[in-house]
């Protein structure tokens, strides 16, 4: 009976370890979800802050470059939205205003991971 008791004890120990590891994994997963949520909240708060700053109309000198970039992007967005509206209405959009880029793609034989590592060097 001693041999069977040892096996039973080992099985119990293994089961306990599995339960502990599962609980640790679940807790880590919950914490990662909470962290992701906090980061999303931070991103949203920063966006709200930026929007409020832009709405003031007065740009502090230290933020002039960032404000100019936002204004430029807003202009580009408005132009693209107008271009989309024109296309939906069936109007011809002149080729000069279209920012469509055509390219000749070539199939690459090397693996994507290898190509990505070459680009970061």
pLDDT tens, the chain, 121 aa long: 688 888 989 999 999 999 998 988 888 889 999 999 999 999 999 999 989 988 988 888 888 888 899 899 999 999 999 999 988 887 655 554 445 544 455 554 444 444 444 444 3
Query: Do both 4 and 32 map to the same domain?
Result: yes
Query: Residue 81: helix, strand or coil by DSSP?
Result: helix
Residues 77 and 64 in one domain: yes
Q: Are residues 8 and 54 in the same domain?
A: yes
- Asked if 19 and 44 sit in the same domain, the reply is yes
- Do 1 and 54 lie in one domain? The reply is yes
Same domain, 27 and 8: yes
In a domain, 108, yes or no: no
106 belongs to a structural domain: no
Whether residue 115 is contained in a domain is answered as: no
Number of domains in the chain: 2
Number of Cβ within 10 Å of residue 86's Cβ equals 14
Residue 67: which region, alpha, beta or left (left: phi > 0; alpha: psi -120 to 50)?
A: alpha
Provide the pLDDT for residue 80: 95
Among candidate residues 105, 107, 99, the one with its CA nearest the CA of residue 80: 99
Q: Is 114 among the domain residues?
A: no
Same domain, 23 and 3: yes
Does an H or E element contain 18, and which? helix 2-56
Domain presence at residue 105: no
Is 104 domain-assigned?
no
C-alpha distances in Å from residue 65, one per residue of 28, 70, 72, 85, 101: 40, 9, 11, 30, 28
Residue-number span of the structural domain to which 68 is assigned:
59-93
Same domain, 65 and 52: no
């Amino acid at each position: 009976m001693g041999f069977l008791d040892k096996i039973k004890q080992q099985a119990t120990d293994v089961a306990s370890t599995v339960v502990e590891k599962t609980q640790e994994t679940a807790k880590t997963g919950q914490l990662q979800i909470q962290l992701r949520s906090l980061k999303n909240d931070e991103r949203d708060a920063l966006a709200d802050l930026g929007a409020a700053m832009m709405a003031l109309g007065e740009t502090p000198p230290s933020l002039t470059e960032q404000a100019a970039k936002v204004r430029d992007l807003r202009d580009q967005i408005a132009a693209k939205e107008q271009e989309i509206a024109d296309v939906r209405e069936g109007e011809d959009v002149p080729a000069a205003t279209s920012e469509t880029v055509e390219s000749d793609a070539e199939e690459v034989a090397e693996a994507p991971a290898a190509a990505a590592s070459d680009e970061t060097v």
